[in-house]
Amino acid sequence: MADNFDVKLDNKTYIPDPSYQANSALGDYKKAYAEFLSDPDGFWAGKARELDWIKPWDKVKEWNWPNARWFCGGKLNISANCLDRHVKNGRRNKLALIWKGEQGKEEIYTYRQLYRAVMRFANALKKLGVQKGDRICLYMPLVPEHIIAMLACARIGAVHSIVYAGFGAEALHARIRDAQAKIVITADVGVRRGKLIPLRSIVDDAVKNSPSVEKIVVLSRERCPVELYSEMEVDFYAIQEGVSDECPPEEMDSEDPLFILYTSGTTGQPKGIVHTTGGYLVGAHYTCKYIFDLKENDVHWCTADPGWITGHSYIVYGPLSVGATVLITETTPDYPDPGIWWSLIEEFGVTVFYTAPTAIRMFMKVGEQWPDKYNLSSLRIIGSVGEPLNPEAFEWYYRVIGRNRCPILDTWWQTETGMHMITTPLGQPMKPGFAGVPIPGVVADVVDKEGNPVPARQGGLLVIKEPWPSMMRTVYNNPDRYKQYWNQIKNWYTVGDLAVKDEDGYIMVLGRSDDIIIVAGHNLGTAEVESALVSHEAVAEAAVIGVPDDVKGQAVKAFVILRQGYEPSQKLVSELTYHVRMTIGPIAMPSGIEFMDKLPKTRSGKIMRRVLKAKEMGVDPGDISTLEE
Ligand code: ATP
Ligand code: MG
């Protein structure tokens, strides 16, 4: 990294209605943060006490760099916290889960129905020989049985490893082998844009040469027994016949592993991140209740898939532990038309909506006539996660979806962190382009390579200085990789992202440190240049990379998707180049702009700049198992 890293920051702010803070569980952010700082362990113990423990912990944390243990000696079960707690506390007939499929298909589960379904399936897994600590791979469409299977694993202490059902056989195989999964749970088909996607045949390929796999559980979407092809296969519902629907939760140690989850693979080979039970639950519950302000009468819709950390923490474990109603849907955002998501918000009265910049930019591209057709007045809070939310996309989201009323929570976090780390807590002024501030419980900073804090408005590396309960415990089969996160700068957790802080301590994520572009000794984060491009009326989405340049070392090359109604032209190239020059300055001016219909993305919707770069340079792109088709 070069030393010079000035960032041009916009000072626009949006002030949320004071009622948001007044009615929030967090209350005043600064006060809550000060409380945390004055007694970090006491702060986290207070949050943990809101949950059900079979046996309380002896010690809040043990920090033995780089290894942390949280709520040491505590015993609990996460499924009991998501289900039994509500069933016992008068919420048994409350809606836990609403599922919406394509063509108007719908299923609902009350908390009691979900509780019983989970216990039945948990008993069925036991009958198959599953024991505490066994790894179970889930490769399932977004249907209620997916969530039932997750919670059933947690109930009996099996470790789930979910693989997004959009991955191919090779990627699935690699993950099954890495985790040494004993059982694979799948469905006959997934549904996408009116088409049936065969999943079982992919699993059949993936389990070849995977000696750890003993059984494949197949869900038939039509609820009639599936035709079984091999002795390894069993039917999801047939194995539940005759089993009891009473299954007491397994007593789990706070530090027993809960799941393994592979990262998105945006910057390289995916890492198998391991999370444990107690600390993870505390993090997911705390952030849902105090940061997302989720209340039990909320209808929460997170558009992620359970195959990503966002789905783990904010479809399943967080919202259910709070007792909210969770909407899940198998629908694609633009099928049968780009109004489908907004129609679901209207239909189910969604109050908290959480999506990703890639979706927001897609909706910007097709135009606001789609959301304008629907009544979105039930929405209270809207969120974003996954990539930097460009200021232009923030403004659009705020105005068109939030109707100039709903606060936006742009949440920065990672598979590794398990929970939100940086965002703008309710009631605080929002600044487009800035994720926000470290939430109470998190100590984050922007520093240089040596760990010295950088002055405001100068870019640097994002680090987390103190352990937190839902931090990953290791990288599966790769303890050295785990250590690397902690030994790059002092003894802090190095995130791998570039960021900048303003005078108020607001943090803007500038992109991945791997993707940094150094032009004539100046560091440029990708997000800054991309946001400048997206702020032009013709541009829906942009990706930039650094290409070799004889004079400047590197120059910026841009790839751009246009909004509907705009055509590529030389004139537009000049206009966009000039626009970047005026927004950031001459150093950021692209030396080339290419118009694209699509950008290479991970299946979780993140731009893979390394693929663009490899193509540009004519070199091997490395691991592209997570690349979207
Ligand atoms: P890999 O680590 O395999 O390259 P990945 O980092 O994309 O994949 P995830 O854990 O899904 O895997 O994503 C975390 C990353 O996503 C963060 O490090 C950050 O770069 C980006 N990110 C997530 N949320 C935000 C946000 N609100 N603003 C900016 N960037 C974000
Ligand atoms: Mg990462």
Q: Is residue 264 part of a domain?
A: no
Is residue 324 domain-shared with residue 426, that is, in the same domain? yes
H-only helix segments in 337-409: 340-348, 357-366, 369-372, 391-396
Cβ of 602: how many Cβ atoms within 10 Å? 24
| pLDDT above 90 as % of the chain | 92
Q: Is residue 359 part of a domain?
A: yes
pLDDT value of position 504: 96
Is residue 498 domain-shared with residue 544, that is, in the same domain? no
Is residue 426 domain-shared with residue 411, that is, in the same domain? yes
Contact residues for 247 (Cβ-Cβ < 8 A; gap 6+): 118, 119, 120, 122, 123, 126, 155, 156
Whose alpha carbon is nearest atom 16 of ligand 1? Answer: 386
Q: Is residue 203 part of a domain?
A: no
Domain boundary among 480, 511, 542: 511
Q: Is residue 471 part of a domain?
A: yes
Q: Which-ligand-closest: CA of 497?
A: 1
Q: How far is the CA of 5 from the centre of ligand 1 (A)?
A: 21
Q: Which atom of ligand 1 is nearest to the CA of 423?
A: 27
- pLDDT over 90 at 571, yes or no: yes
State the average pLDDT for the chain. Answer: 96
* Confidence band of 476 (pLDDT split at 50, 70, 90): very high
Is residue 574 domain-shared with residue 456, that is, in the same domain? no
Q: Which-ligand-closest: CA of 164?
A: 1
Are the beta carbons of 465 and 442 closer than 8 angstroms?
no
Is residue 330 domain-shared with residue 410, that is, in the same domain? yes
Total of domains in the chain: 2
Domain boundary among 511, 533, 564: 511
pLDDT (tens digit per residue) in 493-532: 999 999 999 999 999 999 999 999 999 889 999 999 999 9
Whose alpha carbon is nearest atom 27 of ligand 1? Answer: 412
User: What is the pTM assigned to this prediction?
Assistant: 0.97
Strands 325-329 and 95-100: parallel
Q: What is the CATH number of the domain that holds 345?
A: 3.40.50.12780
In which domain, by residue range, is 542 found? 515-617
Higher pLDDT, 319 or 331: 319
Q: Angle at CA 312, nearest 5°, toward 308 and 315? A: 105
Is residue 429 domain-shared with residue 301, that is, in the same domain? yes
Q: Which-ligand-closest: CA of 527?
A: 1
Contact residues for 370 (Cβ-Cβ < 8 A; gap 6+): 337, 338, 339, 342, 363
Is residue 432 domain-shared with residue 482, that is, in the same domain? yes
Contact residues for 399 (Cβ-Cβ < 8 A; gap 6+): none
Report the range of poorest mean pLDDT among 235-249, 410-424, 614-628.
614-628
| Strand, helix or coil for residue 413 | coil
Are the beta carbons of 287 and 273 closer than 8 angstroms?
no
| Strand, helix or coil for residue 546 | strand
Q: Which-ligand-closest: CA of 270?
A: 1
pLDDT (tens digit per residue) in 98-131: 999 988 899 999 999 999 999 999 999 999 999 9
pLDDT (tens digit per residue) in 178-231: 999 999 999 999 999 989 999 999 999 999 999 999 999 999 998 777 778 788
Q: Is residue 460 part of a domain?
A: yes
pLDDT (tens digit per residue) in 327-375: 999 988 999 999 999 999 999 999 999 999 999 999 999 999 999 999 9
Q: Is residue 591 part of a domain?
A: yes
Ligand 1, from 302, 414, 603: best to mutate by most atoms within 8 Å of Cβ?
Answer: 414
Pocket of ligand 1 (CB under 6 A): 263-268, 270, 309, 385-388, 410-415, 435, 495-497, 509, 512, 604, 606
* Confidence band of 450 (pLDDT split at 50, 70, 90): very high
Domain boundary among 453, 486, 511: 511
Ligand 1, from 509, 608, 628: best to mutate by most atoms within 8 Å of Cβ?
Answer: 509
pLDDT value of position 629: 75
Query: How large is the ipTM?
Result: 0.99
Q: How far is the CA of 106 from the centre of ligand 2 (A)?
A: 35
pLDDT value of position 226: 76
Q: How far is the CA of 118 from the centre of ligand 1 (A)?
A: 31
